[in-house]
Structure 1
Amino acid sequence: MNEHAELRDWLIALRTPGLGPGGLRERLGATRGSIDQVLAQLRRQASSLDPEAKTWLDQPDETRLTADLAWLAEPGHRLLRCTEADFPPQLETIPQPPAALFISGDASLLLHPQVAIVGARSASIAGKANARAFARSLALAGFVVTSGLADGIDGAAHEATLEAGQPTVAVIGTGPDLVYPRKHRELSARVAAQGALVSEFPPGTAARADHFPRRNRLIAGLSLGTVVIEAGLQSGSLITARLAGEQGREVFAVPGSIHNPLARGCHRLIREGARLVESASEIVESLTPAARALGAELAQRLDLPTAVSTERHRRAKGGWRDDPDYQRLLDVLGHDPAALDELATRTGQSAAVLSSMLLMLELEGCVEGLPGGRYQRLPGV
């Protein structure tokens, strides 16, 4: 099956009423990841499906599918499927993992260690200043700052990260072609250009209240830890924090004045076991071991010869320097910034392999990730 036909089948499946990511994943497992077999199976079982699903499978909306495929054909746009090697492994262990993600920007950022920064939409000036300070420090320490593109704390975290010249990931509750809130249209474009916009929803999907808890589980799931900066007792940020805790991720809360209603949610989290933090360095120290473990997990999950041999070399000989594939990557990288596709051409390695290798080199302090999905070898390496 060619790529265009496979993408079309995926879009039909993703838009099938009542199927959902769980149903699609279950059928993919039964068919060993064959999307065309999934559709064939669904059509054979049409009589037991929801009438809307049967109608859609019998006669998909070709106008809608054509628009979806046109969006995916644009540079920097991708449908990242759970059957692909570079689908983020941290999402496999969350409740109701997505079957696919629509991405505008650098999909490889989802393989990097991420920290979520979330909080109140109606944040105070001080709260937004804290969000900016934490985001900048975490980004410069090598973590990808992830948030939800909402007003208030989310927007401040994204903006500060971009201003620091670092990539950021925004997980949104609409289709990847829409912006909510509308005031963040320019910010959304900057995130896509310098980082990645991520959505579980197909193009054209408008904002709905029930989309945002679903978005929040992805923010928590992608991140090694979630930092809450200002949250009322009814804040959606507390949902993200709860999901992060349930997923086994670290939860951090920034305390505030007892007279500030937007501090009460953070104080509740602290009483319930979240770690009180006053500086980004505390978060970096706490999450660095998890970031290193993520690199090893990626190598194992990708199950690729380069990644596997690298881990063997690291265990047996004590370092990546003994691995010829890593030496070749560093040689072709040189000291000038290069994009992932350039490195793939120079090395003959796939983007999935290179993402894993570059992540390990970043964690070792040998390579620096730059805006626009570029990488640069650090001096002295």
Structure 2
Amino acid sequence: MRYHIAGAGKGNPGFTAGRNHGAQLRNRQGGKGISEKAGISHKKNSRSQLAALIRLTISPCPSRGELRRLLALKSPEELASTLPETDQLSFSLNAALNHGITSLAITSADYPHRLRSIPDPPAVLFIKGSPEVLKGSSVAVIGSRRCSLYGRKAARKLAGGLSAAGVCVVSGLARGIDAESHRGAILHCGRTAAVLGGGLDSIYPAEHSALAETIARCGCLLSEYPPGVRPTRYSFPERNRIISGLSDAVVVVEAGERSGTMITVGTALDQGRDVYAVPGEIGRSTSAGTNRLIRDGAGIILSAEEFLQDLGLQAEQPEAVSDDPLIKLLRNRELTPDMIISITGSDRSALSSRLLELELAGQVVRRPGGAFTSVV
């Protein structure tokens, strides 16, 4: 089912990480996009090109829209040759090299094709991992940071089902639904991509650093911001257009009516993407946004299998339920390490290591107060 509304207003696509940049997230001008065949195709990712693209993005001029136009005419090295060397450039380049961060200009043949077609695509993407994961079907699975246990389980189950069918799960690495979506994909050894609101050398939130490294190994991290740029309150809404732009469809698992998630819904609709929502409990604030989306015509998600049918994909047969004794113990209950020790007599050090292992694998989650519960 398609859910479409009229596009939003106009704005200025200039590149900054401050207030003006955040206010521009509804710019929908110039929807023609740029093909790698339209101008110069920048296929190499040499150190000189990386340095040039960093220099172009940290410079206050040209604007993002102007940079897209210039990259279709000249190589990054040619464009950057007139800009001065700065300490920020040295810092960003060293951070990129130390963290294994590469770059893609919009004219590159490897630039994600769906993203190139949106009205205001990033002129440059910085990537850690493999952008190849975005060449097949991709679905954004997003939602509230402050989510319920139901929302966590729904996000993980849905992302796992999509991932098992070969769909790349796209989200924003935020606390709550985003993180559970990534973990659900990882748990099924599938593909996932995280779009960040700052440079890839500084993961936010910091507690997701280990998760980010795992995502980079089985998918990729992306940002339009070069290394060294810290996220701001304005850069997070701005990156939402990239999350929807990379995806064939957007699924909202849980969200309040005024949640930042609704910004992504707006950009998805403006980009012509299908929007789906997971129904939630009536009266729960974190489900108010999703329930309203369904009322207003969004597609309803009842299972990954049905959703995959809508996408024209085949669902994988469900795997057997885990027989891990610790996962069984934590299924449908929340227990602290002390409680687990009192029940099982486990060694505290061994238990801590095992819980960390299961948490990183996305099989248990830590609840407020330090308790753990299984989500598989």
Which TM-score bucket, shorter chain as reference? 0.5 to 0.7
User: What are structure 1's unaligned runs of at least 5 residues?
Assistant: 44-56, 290-381
SS of structure 2 residue aligned to 1:95: coil
Quick check: 1:181 aligned with 2:205? yes
Q: Residues 118-170 of structure 1, C-alpha deviation per residue, up to 9 Å, x if partnerless?
A: 00100000110100110110100110111000000001111121122122111
What is the deviation of 1:280?
1.1
Q: 1:234 is matched with which residue?
A: 258
Quick check: 1:34 aligned with 2:75? yes
Q: 2:114 is matched with which residue?
A: 90
SS of structure 1 residue aligned to 2:312: helix
Q: Residues 293-313 of structure 1, C-alpha deviation per residue, up to 9 Å, x if partnerless?
A: xxxxxxxxxxxxxxxxxxxxx
- 8 Å contact kept, 1:162–1:191: yes
Q: 2:59 is matched with which residue?
A: 16
What is the deviation of 1:181?
1.0
What is the deviation of 1:73?
3.3
SS of structure 1 residue aligned to 2:290: helix
Q: Equivalent pairs: percent with the same residue?
A: 39
CA distance in 2, matches of 1:228, 1:23: 33
Q: 1:211 is matched with which residue?
A: 235
CA distance in 2, matches of 1:108, 1:192: 12
Query: Structure 1: which amino acid aligns with 2:233?
Result: A
Q: Which of structures 1 and 2 has the larger relative contact order (alpha carbons within 8 angstroms, sep 6+)?
A: 2
What is the deviation of 1:67?
3.0
Partner residue of 2:68 out of 17, 21, 25: 25
SS of structure 1 residue aligned to 2:103: strand
User: What are structure 2's unaligned runs of at least 5 residues?
Assistant: 1-41, 314-376
CA distance in 1, matches of 2:259, 2:268: 15
- 8 Å contact kept, 1:118–1:153: yes
Q: 2:364 is matched with which residue?
A: none
For the structure 1 residues 73 and 207, does the alpha-carbon distance in structure 2 shift closer, same or farther, using more than 3 Å as the test?
A: closer
- 8 Å contact kept, 2:58–2:89: no
Equivalent residue runs for 1:369-380 within 5 Å: none
Q: 1:244 is matched with which residue?
A: 268
- 8 Å contact kept, 1:33–1:83: no
What is the deviation of 1:178?
0.7
Q: 1:202 is matched with which residue?
A: 226
Q: 2:217 is matched with which residue?
A: 193
Partner residue of 1:142 out of 163, 166, 179: 166
What is the deviation of 1:71?
3.6
What is the deviation of 1:276?
1.2
Partner residue of 2:294 out of 247, 266, 270: 270
What is the deviation of 1:66?
2.6
Query: Structure 2: which amino acid aligns with 1:125?
Result: L
Partner residue of 1:60 out of 57, 63, 85: 85
- Segments of 4+ moved more than 6 angstroms: none
Q: 2:190 is matched with which residue?
A: 166
CA distance in 2, matches of 1:12, 1:69: 9
CA distance in 2, matches of 1:134, 1:216: 20
What is the deviation of 1:75?
7.4
SS of structure 2 residue aligned to 1:252: strand
SS of structure 2 residue aligned to 1:233: coil
- 8 Å contact kept, 1:72–1:79: no
What is the deviation of 1:248?
1.1
Query: Structure 2: which amino acid aligns with 1:35?
Result: P
TM-score of the aligned structures, taking structure 2 as reference length: 0.68
- 8 Å contact kept, 1:120–1:230: yes
Partner residue of 2:244 out of 220, 229, 234: 220
The structure whose residues are more often helix, as a share, is 1
Query: Structure 2: which amino acid aligns with 1:210?
Result: Y
CA distance in 1, matches of 2:53, 2:61: 15
Q: Residues 78-102 of structure 1, C-alpha deviation per residue, up to 9 Å, x if partnerless?
A: 1011121111111122121101111
Query: Structure 1: which amino acid aligns with 2:148?
Result: S
Q: 2:312 is matched with which residue?
A: 288
What is the deviation of 1:37?
4.1
TM-score of the aligned structures, taking structure 1 as reference length: 0.67
